[in-house]
Amino acid sequence: MLAAVLSTAGLLFYVLVYTLMLKRTSTQNIVIGGAAGAVPPLVGWAAVTGTLSVPAWVLFAIVFFWTPPHFWALALRYDEDYQAARIPMLPGVVGASMATDHILLYSIVTVGVSFLLVPWVGWIYMAVVMLLGIWLIGGAVHLRMNPDMAMRYFTATNGYLAGVFLAVAIDVLVLG
């Protein structure tokens, strides 16, 4: 029941808050809308355990803070399209320089939040997050110097999130 309620709440938040209210009105659309995209780990956790504990919320937070740099990198690449559609994505409103500053900041926070899961996992997860974190933050620094690398960074963000969740699964399977 909890998983169903969370799933429905996430869907309604996405449609009503993000799509209808924020997407075309705020440069923070991705930040706030990221909460809807971060609900699936809560749904999965609730489906398996019937509860929500701290690790579930950490997984939620990882996705929540990962969302802005992921989509702002995409918005850097497709800035003209977003502007033509009148969607106020951060890069089109504040410029590439300030947007890449935000991408770097959120990337650092994403990596930091990822380490909050360490008490519930083992050394495999910690090592993977350390390596992926260096890669993600390094990529954000390079993106600041060359915003034309936006799609490369967008791809890196996909790899980061997949790697973090894969590390959780491997760590739990190998180390228990």
Residue 35's domain comprises: 2-175
Mean pLDDT of the chain: 96
Per-residue pLDDT tens digits for 155-167 = 999 999 999 999 9
Distance CA 158, CA 155 (A): 5
Per-residue pLDDT tens digits for 101-119 = 999 999 999 999 999 999 9
**Res 135 pLDDT > 90:** yes
Tell me the average pLDDT across 73-77: 97
pLDDT at position 176, please?
A: 77
Number of domains in the chain: 1
Distance CA 120, CA 97 (A): 37
Contact 89, 82 (CB under 8 A): yes
**Res 93 pLDDT > 80:** yes
The CA-based angle 152-65-18, given to 5 degrees, is 95
Tell me the average pLDDT across 78-92: 95
Tell me the average pLDDT across 30-44: 95
